[in-house]
Amino acid sequence: MGEASPHLCAVKLNRQLVLPLGLEATRALVGGIHDLGLPAIMDCKLNDVGHTNAAIARYYFNVGFDALTASPFVGWEGGLQSVFEVAGEAGGGVILLVYMSHPGAVEGYGQWVVDAETGERRPQYLVFAEKALRWGADGVVVGATYPEKIREVFKVLGGEIPIFSPGVGAQGGSVEGAVVAGASYLIVGRSIINAEHPGMVAESLKERVNKALGR
């Protein structure tokens, strides 16, 4: 991680890493990330009732995470409201899943729904993007494998909330396609972690982003 750190803006950890480590070992890992001058994001995808969500969020913020991910499917009242409250107390952020990067995302995030508030028939992910604005989310996730969805969500958000795009590399998402469509941050895990020289790969990805944006 140290070799790649000059070219990163944050480090995201998944549950499959944190679960076998336990909270105390995770605290040390998060501390190491902070020592590199980077924020740590917990990709826990909270999606339960309010008191359960709050307890989980509190554990993660207590070990030092700066932000976590959550699913808007569970709704606000009795769902994610408590997560935003815990995050506010901890000075942390909440990043909402708006459209994930895997092929099956269309079955949930891509379905057409009748908006309970307006009665309009609309794509679920655009309803979620509007909820992100209304709830004051600190970021949204839209897969880099769906640049057309990034573009639509970016239009809804109006630049007020950053878009985090996973799926670059191993899942086939394009660096250039995602950032040109409106992604603020790219989530790249396996391409860097599994590389023989992770620092070189991270630097190359950063250079591609800058070139795509004309920097």
- Is residue 45 part of the annotated active site? The answer reads yes
Q: At 174, is the secondary structure helix, strand, or coil?
A: coil
DSSP states along 22-48: -HHHHHHHHHHHHHTT--EEEEEEE-S
Report residue 105 CA to chain centroid gap: 15
In the DSSP assignment, the letter for residue 187 is E
Q: Among 45, 149, 206, 211, which one carries the catalytic annotation?
A: 45
Q: In angstroms, rounded to a whole number, what is the distance separating the alpha carbons of residues 189 and 178? A: 16
Q: In angstroms, rounded to a whole number, what is the distance separating the alpha carbons of residues 57 and 46? A: 8
Cβ atoms of 182 and 154 closer than 8 Å = yes
Handedness of CA 33, 34, 38, 40 (dihedral sign): positive
- Of 172, 125, 173, the C-alpha closest to 152 is 125
- Of 215, 93, 105, 85, the C-alpha closest to 153 is 105
> Which residues, at least 6 apart from 27, have a Cβ–Cβ distance to it below 8 Å?
63, 64
Q: Would you please indicate which residues are annotated as catalytic (active-site) residues?
A: 45
